[in-house]
Amino acid sequence: RAARAASVEDLRAMARRRVPRAVFDYVEGGAESERSLARAREDLDSVHFIARVLRGVSTVDTRATILGAPSALPIVFAPTGFTRVLHHEGELATARAAGAAGVPFALSTMGTCSVEDVAEIIPGCRKWFQLYLWSDRGRSRELVDRAAAAGYEALVLTVDTPVAGRRLRDVRNGMTLPPSLGLRTFVDGARHPHWWIDLLTTRALSFASLDSWQGTVAELAATLFDPAVDFEDLDWLREQWPGKLVVKGVQSAEDAARIASAGADAIVLSNHGGRQLDRSATPLRQLPEVLDRLDGRCEVFVDGAFTSGADVVAALALGADAVLVGRAYLYGLMAAGELGVRRVAALFEEEITTTMTLLGARSIAELKPDLVRLVPAPEAGEHRRWADLAEAGLAIPAG
């Protein structure tokens, strides 16, 4: 059924049935009131397309240049952690699907496959490695060296996680990684029998950078991540890493300019899919000011709540160079492993092509601000709550 899903929303519904509530909530949820998530979705919905007609759109070219190299679509598979908790195929599925779709794949430091494993399964495909700077800089350095040796073209430094955001769903569900084997897990497992294999696999694995671990995401971040990370670390990393450098989690024009001056090749305007600082400004609303300040000094990617090709086209028309897609492919993974993720990639391709055709844009270069209007944001208090949107099936977030 996943192969015939008509939208990411369909795969989301399948995912919800297949995995236990705590796992689904870990993927779907945001921090605190989940306002960042709701606003990101609402901002995407606030983009009105203004189609141009009589443009001769019998062929539409969806290829994009991302970090100076070709990509079949203007999207990147975002780094996401702990994927084998969602489905035992984990990064084997997501990396293969990205490779087959011809888009870059970003492996997370908190991924469940090693940098070498991913390099081996998708040789010749575009691979990025996402880095959290650990308190033990020696171990970070080791990971960076391994990624360089394994042929990763880009390093993505995430800078929005000095501590973990307060993810209330995880607290309420007692979510640990890997999931603990308590009564609740057994009951959940009995109700979602297809997920048992994932649980058993997960308990046997070492996360990409950890020999063994069990705890909440907050505990994990407090143990490993260094809140003291600053611009000197960015300079240090720029010296260490020979390839492209991307900084993810940037939220202000001021920081974007300073990061570009430090030699970054791209920034990801991101609030970590609403999972870190709640009430943070949304990437789409920050985009014009950031682009203005950067004035082309580095590429600008965005993420957060992107679940359709139309969302991607909207962001590109507003000036983004590419979109990082996270939750959307995780819904496919939870629903049906590699097949589900491939379906997500196929849906994005179909939707981007159709949207561009109907908009009258024959190439990515033709996606310009005159094709869109971002209507004013709702006043404070008028925003709908993320949980209500999700419950009503009106919105699906993406990483």
Q: So which residues are the catalytic ones?
A: 272
Q: Is 157 an interacting residue with respect to ligand HOC (CB under 6 A)? A: no
Q: Of the two residues 161 and 176, which places its CB atom closer to ligand HOC in the complex?
A: 161
47-49/372-374 β-pairing: antiparallel
Q: How far is the CB of 176 from ligand HOC (least distance, A)?
A: 13
Contact 345, 300 (CB under 8 A): no
Structure tokens at 213: 């671990």
Residue nearest to ligand HOC (CB): 81
Q: Of the two residues 104 and 249, which places its CB atom closer to ligand HOC in the complex?
A: 249
- Number of residues this chain uses to bind ligand HOC (CB under 6 A): 9
Contact 48, 372 (CB under 8 A): yes
Which of 29, 81, 111, 178 touches ligand HOC (CB under 6 A)? 81
Contact 315, 284 (CB under 8 A): yes
d(CA 298, CA 226): 26
Q: Of the two residues 84 and 366, which places its CB atom closer to ligand HOC in the complex?
A: 84
**What is the torsion angle, in degrees rounded to the nearest 10, for the CA atoms of residue 355, residue 364, residue 345 and residue 119?**
180
Which of 71, 83, 161, 280 touches ligand HOC (CB under 6 A)? 161
Q: Please, which of residues 209-228 interact with ligand HOC by CB under 6 A?
A: 217, 220-221
Q: Of the two residues 275 and 343, which places its CB atom closer to ligand HOC in the complex?
A: 275
Which of 248, 275, 327, 342 touches ligand HOC (CB under 6 A)? 275
Q: How far is the CB of 161 from ligand HOC (least distance, A)?
A: 4
Q: Of the two residues 60 and 76, which places its CB atom closer to ligand HOC in the complex?
A: 76
Q: Is 173 an interacting residue with respect to ligand HOC (CB under 6 A)? A: no
3-state helix/strand/coil string of the chain: CHHHCCCHHHHHHHHHHHCCHHHHHHHHCCCCCCHHHHHHHHHHHCEEECCCCCCCCCCCECCEEECCEEECCCEEECCCCCHHHHCCCHHHHHHHHHHHHCCCEEECCCCCCCHHHHHHHCCCCCEEEEECCECCHHHHHHHHHHHHHCCCCEEEEECCCCCCCCCHHHHHHCCCECCCCCHHHHHHHHHCHHHHHHHHHHHHCCCCCCCCCCECHHHHHHHHECCCCCHHHHHHHHHHCCCEEEEEEECCHHHHHHHHHCCCCEEEECCHHHCCCCCCCCHHHHHHHHHHHHCCCCEEEEECCCCCHHHHHHHHHCCCCEEEECHHHHHHHHHHHHHHHHHHHHHHHHHHHHHHHHHCCCEHHHCCHHHEEECCCCCCCCCCCHHHHHHCCCCCCCC
Q: Please, which of residues 88-147 interact with ligand HOC by CB under 6 A?
A: 110
Q: Of the two residues 211 and 239, which places its CB atom closer to ligand HOC in the complex?
A: 211
Contact 199, 188 (CB under 8 A): no
Q: Is 189 an interacting residue with respect to ligand HOC (CB under 6 A)? A: no
Q: At residue 388, what is the residue type?
A: D
Q: How far is the CB of 37 from ligand HOC (least distance, A)?
A: 12
Residues that bind ligand HOC (CB under 6 A): 81, 110, 161, 164, 217, 220-221, 272, 275
